[in-house]
């Protein structure tokens, strides 16, 4: 574990980082490596003369050199690998390059390219990042946590790799998700990368192709399930609360049977949330709120159909109910506005085999009197034809399910239909934005899960906003940490969604995106952080602090990708 100290020069007031490294060990540390930009005095102090070319370069020179290299990569996967290699060599340069080319590069380190990188993880693996905790080592969890790279940790992102995006069980390949998420915490939310920790819980895999691959790097056994799995998770949480008791823990890409129940089990024991459930819900709610502003309708009056009643779909529904209640609806009134459709059709009270978290959204069967029902239950087309939804959301992972028939039927009854095909990656998207715009004669308000280009229709250009959780969790995390919040209830996600919706370009620009440009995501994250911190104080989850004090804390904590002055720790 690397332990460094930050001091302030009494004469100049400059921040100085004291590090216990020198020579090659310093050049091998991505957090402090400056490469050719090490100044002469630091080269002498740290024993670097002769190990670097003689020219003392600037970060701007390095950026130009690295971007030229980047442009030579022919595929998106090669570009992803190049950026990850840069991160493993020089964190400051990596984040500076990312910040200056965020629209081009963010999709390469996260959705959609991270999905392909996870599939090839064992073949493109180069350097360890974070912690791999296997079931076989469950008795040594505290020792493993003590092996973390840096002492202080603000945020953990953890996965077991069982449900990676829409790709399923990728085993150890799932580690690409925590690594990618935490990169966005830093890039978008100003969290110091030295205070982040990606963790992979290796409970095995049921992916036969991975198990048969001689290069597979994970545990070569079927997934541990049942009581043994639950005990493994309990041991992990127990170790985290003892070793890192003040850390925010984010669950990521756990399978449907586990995601909700683990959140419910632990949300009152530590500062934790599930981004697939709550983060997706908040960013989706922000899109609904922004679309409502454009169409001049209240959230409480929306009729919402969600295709896909898994963790993401029910999480969105939960957040909508919370927001509708805040606008004056009762819980029963809010639930009556939500229609969830899964593989066996619309969820209703006569269905058997529903998960506990789905039962809340089962419509009373008597409301369906006169509806046609086929062998597959009440279909999406049947629901849309009877409900006339104002909002249609897809979290199904089934491409093409928002058909022309469904979209045109919705648009017949709604002037500005809000249609959000959110499944990732693009190959899993419920409908292409260009088709939705064409089928609604340019009236639809569209947001997608993965990035899509602008759509030109009828002489007009439509910006397609990406309903990306990165608009929520980095700012939320910064607000939770800066305020010292002890828990992460749904009200903090509602505050995040409202702050994001207020920044929507569609509120002021015809044809504008429902979400801000990625170039503005850091300033949006700061706005969200301040809203979250204030709400945490209002709810009594953190010690009371005035807004100006919270803003000062957020700004003081915000990490910027620039080279700091280094001094050798004696």
The two most distant CA atoms of the chain are separated, in Å, by 83
For residue 82, indicate whether it is catalytic. Answer: no
CB 515 within 8 A of CB 287: yes
Is 260 annotated in a binding site? The answer is: no
Q: What are the phi and psi torsion angles at 522 (to 5°)?
A: -65, -45
State how far the Cα of 383 lies from the Cα of 339, in Å rounded to an integer. 8
CB 287 within 8 A of CB 395: no
Residue written as tokens 């648009």? 411
Q: How many helices (H) and strands (E) does the chain have?
A: 24, 17
Q: Which of 261, 257, 358 is nearest to 306 (CA)?
A: 358
Q: Is 52 exposed, middle or buried (0-12, 13-18, 19+ CB in 10 A)?
A: middle
Is 163 annotated in a binding site? The answer is: yes
Q: Residues of 348-382 as b/e, b for ≥16 C-beta within 10 angstroms?
A: beebeebbebbebbbbeeeebeebeeeeebbbbbb
- Strand partners for 305: 339, 392
Long-range contacts: 35-42, Cβ < 8 Å, 24+?
35/62, 35/89, 35/90, 35/93, 36/61, 36/62, 37/61, 37/62, 37/563, 42/566
The C-alpha angle with vertex 254 and arms to 289 and 431, in degrees rounded to 5, equals: 50
Which residue out of 110, 185, 378, 563 is catalytically annotated? 110
For residue 181, indicate whether it is catalytic. Answer: yes
Which residue out of 34, 95, 135, 181 is catalytically annotated? 181
CB 348 within 8 A of CB 363: yes
The tokens describing 171, both together, are: 């085993």
Q: Which of 191, 219, 214, 188 is nearest to 203 (CA)?
A: 219
Q: Is 456 exposed, middle or buried (0-12, 13-18, 19+ CB in 10 A)?
A: exposed
DSSP-assigned letters across all residues of 165-183 = TTTB--GGGGGHHHHHHHH
Per DSSP, the three-state class of 153 is coil
Is 252 annotated in a binding site? The answer is: yes
Q: What are the phi and psi torsion angles at 265 (to 5°)?
A: -70, -35
Is 253 annotated in a binding site? The answer is: yes
The tokens describing 241, both together, are: 């609360």
Is 129 annotated in a binding site? The answer is: no
Residues annotated within a binding site for a divalent metal cation: 252-253, 276
The annotation places the binding site at: 163, 252-253, 276, 424, 468
Residue numbering of the annotated binding site for (S)-malate = 163, 424, 468
Catalytic center residues: 110, 181
């Amino acid at each position: 574990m690397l332990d460094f100290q930050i001091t302030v020069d009494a004469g100049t007031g400059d921040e100085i980082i004291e590090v216990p490294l020198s020579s090659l060990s310093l050049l091998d540390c991505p957090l402090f490596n400056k490469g050719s930009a090490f100044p002469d005095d630091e080269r002498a102090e740290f024993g670097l003369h002769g190990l670097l070319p003689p020219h003392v370069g600037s970060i701007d020179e390095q950026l130009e050199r690295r971007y030229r290299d980047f442009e030579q990569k022919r595929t998106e996967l090669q570009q992803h690998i190049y950026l990850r290699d840069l991160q493993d060599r020089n964190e400051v340069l990596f984040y500076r390059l990312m910040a200056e080319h965020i629209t081009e590069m963010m999709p390469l380190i996260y959705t959609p390219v991270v999905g392909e990188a996870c599939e090839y993880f064992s073949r493109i693996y180069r350097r360890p990042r974070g912690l791999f905790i296997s079931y076989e080592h469950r008795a040594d969890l505290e020792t493993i946590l003590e092996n973390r790279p840096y002492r202080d940790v603000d945020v953990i992102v953890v996965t077991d790799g069982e449900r990676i995006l829409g790709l399923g069980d990728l085993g150890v390949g799932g580690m690409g998700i925590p690594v990618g998420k935490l990169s966005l915490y830093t890039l978008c939310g100003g969290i110091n990368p030295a205070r982040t920790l990606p963790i992979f819980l290796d409970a095995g895999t049921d992916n036969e192709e991975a198990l048969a691959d001689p290069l597979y790097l994970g545990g070569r056994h079927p997934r541990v399930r049942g009581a043994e799995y639950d005990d493994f998770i309990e041991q992990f949480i127990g170790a985290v609360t003892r070793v890192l008791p003040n850390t925010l823990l984010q669950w990521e890409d756990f399978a449907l049977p586990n995601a909700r129940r683990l959140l419910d089990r632990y949300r009152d024991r530590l500062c934790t949330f599930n981004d697939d459930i709550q983060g997706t819900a908040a960013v989706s709610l922000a899109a609904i709120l922004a679309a409502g502003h454009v169409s001049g309708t209240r959230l409480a009056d929306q009729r919402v159909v969600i295709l896909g009643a898994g963790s993401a779909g029910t999480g969105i529904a939960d957040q909508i109910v919370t927001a509708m209640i805040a606008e004056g609806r009762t819980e029963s009134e809010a639930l009556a506005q939500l229609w969830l459709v899964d593989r066996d059709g619309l969820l209703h009270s006569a269905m058997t085999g529903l998960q506990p978290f789905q039962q809340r959204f089962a419509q009373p069967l008597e409301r369906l009197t006169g509806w046609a029902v086929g062998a597959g239950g009440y279909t999406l087309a049947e629901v849309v034809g009877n409900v006339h939804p104002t909002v249609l959301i897809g979290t199904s992972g089934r491409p093409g399910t928002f058909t022309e028939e469904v979209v045109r039927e919705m648009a017949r009854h709604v002037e500005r239909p809000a249609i959000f095909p959110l499944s990732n990656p693009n190959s899993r998207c419920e409908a292409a934005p260009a088709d939705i715009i064409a089928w609604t004669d340019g009236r639809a308000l569209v947001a997608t899960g993965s990035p899509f280009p602008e759509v030109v229709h009828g002489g007009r250009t439509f910006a397609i906003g990406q309903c990306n959780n990165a608009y929520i969790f980095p700012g939320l995390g910064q607000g939770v940490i800066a305020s010292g919040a002890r828990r992460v209830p749904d009200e903090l996600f509602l505050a995040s969604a409202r702050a994001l919706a207020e920044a929507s370009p569609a509120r002021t620009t015809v044809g504008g995106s429902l979400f801000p440009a990625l170039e503005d995501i850091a300033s949006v994250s700061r706005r969200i952080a301040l809203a979250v911190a204030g709400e945490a104080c209002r709810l009594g989850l953190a010690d009371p602090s005035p807004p100006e004090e919270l803003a000062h804390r957020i700004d003081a904590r915000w990490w910027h990708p620039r080279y700091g002055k280094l001094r050798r720790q004696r």
